[in-house]
Amino acid sequence: MTIHRARSGWLALALLFLLLAWDASTLDMALARWFGGPQGFPLRDHWLLTRVLHDAAKALAWGFVLLLCAGVVWPRGPMQALPFARRLQLPATALIASLVTSALKGASATSCPWDMAEFGGVAQHLSHWVGWFVADGGGGHCFPAGHATTGFAFVGGYFALRPHLPRLARGWLVVALVAGFTLGAVQQLRGAHFMSHTLWTAWICWMVGWLADPLFAGHAARRALPTA
């Protein structure tokens, strides 16, 4: 295990403990009360949050994934400095992260804040971990945060770029995190998610990138070996 990979693993472990501490607090509901009340969430249907920062942002992200897929076969610009396996890693980890998040959401019975009785809905507030086994009376399928994946899914690209383009890798990571947290905040304003949903999505996407990295790194290393 390389030093960089070990550091990334220790960072993930440290963040896991912080996430568990957040889950043990009552800060999710405290934050939700900033944006909503018994009448619901006033910004739930705001055009900027729904049409631009939700629908348009999602379409832009999928367009970017298509560009990355095209770059695997027809590399341009910085992608020309990457081995084939690393170019493939860029869209592959984004798609895997999206699939993992979608699968977890589909299996979870945890409902969104706007479904909670405190905010005009019918569901009772339960821990999202309890939500794997006990229905809260709402629509469910709200944990982790799907829309935040629109940004966080690209975190895996950091691992693909780091060995060959470290400066670009750091910039890529910053942009992916800023996008993820921004889109997660949008959903919190609308009442679609709690903060914990966004934080766990970020952690899951980081783990997908970290766990997938050795597979692509090994293939890239084998392709780089001289033939006899």
- Which pTM does this prediction carry? 0.93
Q: Where are the domains of the chain?
A: 3-223
pLDDT digits (tens, 9 = 90+) for 16-26: 999 999 999 98
Helices (H), 118-194: 149-152, 157-161, 166-190
Could you tell me if 209 and 97 are in contact, meaning their C-beta atoms sit under 8 angstroms apart? yes
SS3 content of the chain, % helix, strand, coil (to 5): 70, 0, 25
Q: How far apart are CA 203 and CA 9, in angstroms?
A: 11
Nearest CA-CA partner of 147 in 96, 182, 196, 178: 182
User: How confident is the model at residue 34, as a pLDDT?
Assistant: 96
Instruction: Mention every residue, 6+ apart, whose C-beta is less than 8 A from residue 80.
Output: none
Q: Which two tokens mark 4?
A: 């960089």
C-alpha 218 chain-centroid distance? 25
User: How confident is the model at residue 227, as a pLDDT?
Assistant: 42
Nearest CA-CA partner of 148 in 104, 185, 111: 185
User: How confident is the model at residue 180, as a pLDDT?
Assistant: 98
pLDDT grade, residue 94 (50/70/90)?
very high
Residue 4 has pLDDT above 50, yes or no: yes
User: How confident is the model at residue 89, as a pLDDT?
Assistant: 97
Nearest CA-CA partner of 80 in 156, 154, 164, 153: 164
Q: How far apart are CA 122 and CA 79, in angstroms?
A: 50
| DSSP type of residue 123 | B
Lowest mean pLDDT among 39-53, 127-141, 175-189, 211-225: 211-225
User: How confident is the model at residue 1, as a pLDDT?
Assistant: 57
Residue 131 has pLDDT above 80, yes or no: no
Residue 127 has pLDDT above 90, yes or no: no
Is the model more confident about 143 or about 2?
Answer: 143
Residue 221 has pLDDT above 90, yes or no: no
